Amino acid sequence: MSDYDISTLDLSGDRYEVQQSLVRNKYSVTDDSGTVVLRGKQKMFKMKEEFPFVDGDGKDAFSVKAGGILDVAGNYAIVDSGTGEEVVVLDEDWSLFAENWTIRDPNTGESLATIESKSAVMEVLRDFVGLANLIPNKYEIKDQQGGHVGSIDGQFGLRDTYTVTIDDASDVPREAVIAAACVIDALENN
């Protein structure tokens, strides 16, 4: 078990589907066999953003909690429900033309991975032309050296659906990437 694993989960697959419900920021994550491995939802009417996740059996897995009340360039801690410890921190790297995020160590601040928007042109269309929910998000996941390790690819549909593929994640925490796909969708589309 690495320092960045969540004690209550074993996500060892290479491909996951993240699907948002039609009504609110509520997510279901399935593995390649179609088994639900995670469920999460954004808590409503909270001063700080919070997204609790449960495993496929409904047991508390982890929570994603905002670092502050007003997050222009937000940071969100992923807290292991089994240990109560921060596993990683997800930071938004605020930019006018791109949606980029960094997954970092909560103690040292060291970057573990980045999640970078694949198209600046599409981000401009989404954000400034009002097509935010019509154009699916697409991101590339990179390790701390900038090497490709996977992708988060949005699909057209009535509800937001993403395929999270991790090609080589020897040092990239899968739980953090999957939680990030849910949190990024909720934050960027609202």
Type of residue at 44: M
Nearest Cα to Cα of residue 76 among 190, 182, 162, 153: 182
Judge contact between 53 and 37, C-beta under 8 A: no
Query: Residue 72 pLDDT more than 80?
Result: no
pLDDT tens digits, residue range 123-143?
555 455 455 556 677 889 998
- If phi > 0 it is left, if psi is from -120 to 50 it is alpha, else beta; for residue 97 that is alpha
What letter does residue 43 receive in the DSSP assignment? P
pLDDT tens digits, residue range 85-132?
999 998 887 665 667 889 999 999 999 999 988 765 555 554 554 555
pLDDT tens digits, residue range 12-28?
888 999 988 877 778 89
Encoded tokens for 109: 């601040």
3-state secondary structure 152-181: EEEECCCCCEEEEEECCCCCCCHHHHHHHH
Tell me how far apart the terminal alpha carbons of the chain are, to the nearest angstrom.
35
pTM, whole model, 2 decimals? 0.81
Nearest Cα to Cα of residue 100 among 86, 87, 118: 118
What pLDDT score does 105 carry? 92
| 3-class DSSP state of 123 | helix
